Amino acid sequence: MVDDRTRWRGSRRRGSTRAGYIVAAAVDLVVLWIMNQLLGWGWPPFLTSSFQDLLPFIDVSLVASAVVNLSWAWRDPEWFHHLAQIGLNLIGLVVAVKTWQIFPFDFSGSGWETVTRMLIALAVGVIVVATVVEVVKLIIDGSGGSHPPGRRRDATGAGSASPA
């Protein structure tokens, strides 16, 4: 049986999570605007004009993230959360690969090119692992095999009794 304290904590958490999703979407849109201004501002100085070729991929990623965050603010079942995160990860993977290919940075002979490429490669690896994890979570949550009947998962992943 769920007591009033548990019910209150759950509803408060959902409200703060919704606000977080809305704030994240707003941040995505602000970053989208900033990214599209960087070349005009001439900042940072190591950014080359080929950044313009990468910008459409960055724009798609930021718009997709804003849309997903707003949809999570509206409705956030676990299966949808995992599926949307997989989609965002795949878009992020494309952006990382395109960043490697276009490489819109000029570090003028310093060692920063090597460091930057290593960081991009690391990002690709992390995105691949995160996507595999999300796929596994989607399968486990979708199968229902991880929770006994009559039980639901709470925020920690532990089962709790379903209200009657």
Q: Name residue 63's amino acid.
A: V
CA distances from residue 76 to 15, 73, 87, 127 in whole angstroms, order as listed: 12, 7, 15, 22
Residue indicated by tokens 């990623």 = 61
**Residues 121, 24: Cα–Cα separation, whole Å:** 26
What whole-number percentage of the chain has pLDDT above 90?
71
The tens digit of pLDDT for each residue in 79-124 reads: 999 999 999 999 999 999 999 999 999 998 788 999 999 999 999 9
The tens digit of pLDDT for each residue in 3-45 reads: 444 433 334 356 778 999 999 999 999 999 999 999 999 999 9
Angle at the Cα of 148 from the Cα atoms of 135 and 2, rounded to 5 degrees:
105
